[in-house]
Chains A and B, each alone.
Chain A
């Protein structure tokens, strides 16, 4: 199946622009600088991976692009217009997924269409199409607790795709999965990305995963979160986590990241 993946044409126009973005948090009289002067441009149809140690603010950045959090200063643009709150043009896939346990798979997937007032018949049809895309047709009437971890990931992916957002924001989605399921989902995500032409921003702390999936890997520093370096990944698709080229490239990025991870670990020990 992997050989059948057709690469989307790489457009050069920019889809998302982050300009001089800063985010500070108030903890009583103490202020924490979570993100410092972030500049980032994501092209339409690009698969961008953000890596960094935990606490570098990569999830915060993703939440802000999703419109669930506001920057302290700086600009966030999608298709040239300012991001102000959540919108149908970009959907966040949470690390904890946030699937609704009171709805079955079909109802979860059609949720975004339902709250937009799309008629029942139309939204069912659309939801079924995306459930099929993630190979869950047999499970459309199952409830969330009856699904495995990998299946839940796929439901959450279908739920986002159902709105045809244009931008998928994925916050460490595959962290809690076993290796085999994760490999499978990498393949599926790549296929779906190629088929739907979504722009994807994928946050992870796993460098090899980032190299496996991304057109570009952006390394962030630990507290305050800054963009440390960018790597264009020019390896052919579809890649595998075990490819020697992937490993080699990951090693190079990891070397860049190492000092940041050390800082993060150090800070955590000090607080413990």
Chain B
């Protein structure tokens, strides 16, 4: 309760400062909009459905790309965590490729797939898959040894050991990895959309620039942050909390 009061107070203060700075007219209004004009922009965008369509299209793309990343990222994470050869080869490569900003995959994607949905999916997947792989791998490695040992002692072997012991034991780490993957997927998508793809929030953001409409630029940026935050809060926090209650480390 106190925390949310602090947060509300902080954002109210921020908007107040923004309003004051805008009223001081240090910069012309076409470079620095007032909160009210951004609000109008948001309102208009939703009223003419362009924002709804943008959100819908972007969410569909990120959902598809993220799902693929999750499946292959988790599988690859398991493979590199438990196979020494794969860890030394694929694992190392994953870490090196992480230094590549995801948008760098775009030229390649366009050459391979043309200006299509496939190209943007490729960028989203390349942007998030390796992040998931790396954090799943390190998560699996930090499972206390006692769990697999106790599992083997009680007769669990092979896929049963994975399904009944390693997977649940890694769940807290796994959610951290998937959450990170989500953030990477969302960022990759928006940057990809800004450069070429029609519809989508990234495109709406660039449209604001093309129309010299600073209010729309602000409005879409707020939307992008809001959606990222919403998924993080509603989905991942919920999952984390449920896990903590069950596992009993709610106190740390």
Contact = CB atoms under 8 A, between A and B. Distances in A.
Interface residues of B, number: 21
Contact of B146 (A86, A94, A116): A94
Contacts of B150: 94, 97-100
Contact of A91 (B154, B171, B246, B247): B154
Interface stretch (A141-149, A184-192, A247-255, A264-272): A141-149
A114 B146 CA distance: 19
Contact of A66 (B153, B168, B246): B153
B197 interface: no
B47 to A, nearest CB: 48
11 contacts: A68-B152, A94-B149, A97-B146, A99-B150, A103-B168, A115-B151, A115-B154, A115-B155, A115-B156, A143-B248, A145-B247
Interface string B157-174: 100100011001101000
A-B pairs, top 6 by smallest CB distance, nearest first, are A145-B248, A98-B150, A112-B154, A98-B146, A115-B156, A102-B168
A159 interface: yes
A115 B168 contact: no
Contact of A111 (B157, B164, B169, B246): B164
A8 interface: no
A115 B147 contact: no
Nearest to A104: B246
Main SS class of interface, B: helix
B153 A115 contact: no
A153 B164 CA distance: 22
Interface in A162-193: 163
A96 interface: yes
A149 to B, nearest CB: 14
B67 to A, nearest CB: 24
B155 A98 contact: no
A116 B155 contact: yes
Contacts of B147: 98, 100
Interface of A: 66, 68, 86-88, 91-92, 94, 96-103, 111-112, 114-116, 143-146, 159, 163
B252 to A, nearest CB: 11
Contact of A86 (B152, B164, B249): B152
B154 A159 contact: yes
A259 to B, nearest CB: 33
Nearest to B164: A115
Contacts, number: 66
A87 B147 CA distance: 17
Nearest to B146: A98
Contact of B149 (A68, A91, A114, A143): A68
Contacts of B169: 100, 102
A88 B155 contact: yes
Contacts of A111: 151, 154, 156, 164
B164 to A, nearest CB: 6
A163 B152 CA distance: 13
Contacts of B248: 101, 143-146
Given A68-B149, A94-B150, A98-B149, A86 B155 contact: yes
A191 to B, nearest CB: 23
A115 to B, nearest CB: 4
Most chain A CB within 10 A, of B146, B152, B153, B247, is at B153
Contact of A68 (B153, B155, B160, B247): B153
Contacts of A145: 247-249
Given A98-B147, A102-B168, A114-B164, A86 B153 contact: yes
Interface string B224-252: 00000000000000000000001111000
Given A88-B155, A143-B246, A96 B160 contact: no
Contact of A163 (B149, B155, B157, B247): B155
B125 to A, nearest CB: 30
Contacts of B153: 66, 68, 86, 91-92, 94, 98
Contacts of A159: 154
A100 B143 CA distance: 12
Contacts of A103: 168
Nearest to A95: B146
A115 B160 CA distance: 7
